[in-house]
Amino acid sequence: MSQLADNIILLLAALLLVGVFSTKFSTKFGMPALVLFLAAGMVLSQFIFFNNASLTQMAGIFALVVILFEGGMQTNIKDIKPVIRPALSLSTVGVIMTTVIVGVFAKLILDVSWAESFLFGAIVGSTDAAAVFSVLGGKNIDKRLTSTLEAESGSNDPMAVFLTVSLIEWIQHPDIAIWGLLLSFIWEMGIGLVLGFVLGKIAVYCINRINLDSTGLYPVMAIGFAVLTYGLSAWVHSSGLLAVYVMGLTLGNSELMYHRTIMNFSHGFAWMMQIFMFILLGLLVFPQELAEVAWQGILLSVILMVVARPIGVFISLHFSKFSIREKTLISWAGLRGAVPIVLATYPLLADLPHGRLFFNVVFFVVLTSAVIQGTSISPLASRLKLVGQEDSDQPSLMELVALGKTDSEFNHIGINPNMPIAGQKISEIGLPDDILFTAIIRNKKIVTPHGSTVIEPGDTVYVLSPKSKRDEMRAFFRSRKGKTAEEDVSLI
């Protein structure tokens, strides 16, 4: 292997470890980790010349596919159902309002055409809920607020992408019909939703039915389906990011074998992709160019944070039941993250006259938003009295060793009150042959099962069973209403 290849591998390893360790500092100082990742890339840009916007965009999109898939997997559909209307209002009306308001000011500040100014507004239109949650940490914020921010972030990215691509097309072809763009919007969002749901169900079927030699291959299969979902959606000109998010949402809320294994793998993989994506985006920026647009960036950042976002939120949530304090927190929680910077590469690749200017100003806006809002959102939540007492009790965790190519597998089953075994002693249950209770999680503590142990609603029971008896095991634990427990029967 050449010396150059060895040096590149060493550099990648160093960047990955620096990114991992920097998350400790970001949590300590209440700042999103993306700031440190971007800063690392900017420092490297002083030693490594890199201006490949095409490669950056491709890597950024792949990273977003993984991040949105993981976000969908982590989202409990029961949590977002009550807030789906305000979240969709924020991701549509809110994004459009932000685009228009920021666009008007961008016209005056950047001295560009109206179409270009609205393009800039669309680029900075989407939010990053992951950055918000990383800053809030374990604070006990009302579930309705966090679910709204989560659902908004997952659904406003496709809207921002659509507006950005449409406005670039409008700039390049001014005679394009508006009704054509409206039809395109309906097609992209509608087909994206359908493809995401259908491919999610196909992925669930394949993961549950195909018996692979190694449990480590199931997360790879899931990621493969996520990338396939984006690719097929892009092929039919629908919203790939929306399709991926819906696919992850479908997968994460289905009765899925190896659910926890897939979740853990996806979470770690998403973090790795975030680190490399932000460092790569930082490499594409030259600090001296940021200094040249500092005053424009500061003005537009302030307008976005204290004018455009609050107006968009209050109008979007006008008919909702959120209080003024809650709307204020949602307004300030509109941190910008990966998507705006990735979208800023689109004007660069389209060779628009102000493409480089847009990229630098957007980069500045994202940094400013992350630093100012990121460090102040937690104190603001406390000041608005929207933070409850932090939960100091940590759940008990149990790591189980994969059984490789043996015929056995571990399962975990959440017990609900409708299950026939709820309230019974283990000795009275009459377990099928070769099915064994190995542990019980009760009130965040591990209970060793004995014959006299009573299975209680809310328990999570860990079971060892042969793969050949998977269907028998699932049928045994099925509730009288024909549904499994809330957490479903899931393989480790």
**What is the set of domains in the chain, with CATH numbers?**
3-388 (1.20.1530.20), 408-491 (3.30.70.1450)
Who's near 59: CB < 8 A, 6+ residues apart? 276, 277, 280
pLDDT mean over 311-325: 92
Closest CA to 300 of 359, 364, 386: 364
How many CB atoms are located within 10 Å of the residue 464 CB?
Answer: 17
pLDDT bucket at 120, cuts 50 / 70 / 90? very high
Length of the chain in terms of residues written: 492
172-222 tens-digit pLDDT: 888 877 788 888 889 999 999 999 999 999 999 999 888 887 888 999 999
Taking the CA atoms of residue 366, residue 226, residue 96 and residue 107 in that order, the dihedral angle to the nearest 10 degrees is 40
Our CA angle for 160, 165, 171, nearest 5°, is 125
pLDDT bucket at 491, cuts 50 / 70 / 90? very low
What secondary structure does DSSP assign to 29-73, as a single string? Answer: TT--HHHHHHHHHHHHTTTS----HHHHHHHHHHHHHHHHHHHHH
Who's near 480: CB < 8 A, 6+ residues apart? 418, 419, 420
Q: Is 404 a residue whose pLDDT tops 70?
A: no
8-50 tens-digit pLDDT: 788 778 878 877 887 777 766 667 788 888 888 888 888 878 7
CA distance 329 to 319: 17
pLDDT bucket at 309, cuts 50 / 70 / 90? very high
pLDDT mean over 308-329: 93
pLDDT bucket at 388, cuts 50 / 70 / 90? low
Q: Where are the beta strands (DSSP E) in 364-435?
A: 387-388, 408-414
Q: Is 70 a residue whose pLDDT tops 80?
A: yes
Burial class (CB in 10 A: 0-12, 13-18, 19+), 72: buried
Q: What percent of the chain has pLDDT over 70?
A: 88
Q: Is 157 a residue whose pLDDT tops 80?
A: yes
Q: Is 228 a residue whose pLDDT tops 90?
A: yes
429-488 tens-digit pLDDT: 887 777 888 888 888 788 888 888 888 888 888 888 776 776 677 777 764 443 444 444
pLDDT bucket at 401, cuts 50 / 70 / 90? very low
Mean pLDDT over each residue of the chain, to the nearest integer: 83
Helices (H) and strands (E) in the chain, counts: 22, 7
Our CA angle for 482, 486, 490, nearest 5°, is 90
pLDDT bucket at 394, cuts 50 / 70 / 90? very low
Per-residue pLDDT at 478: 64
pTM: 0.80
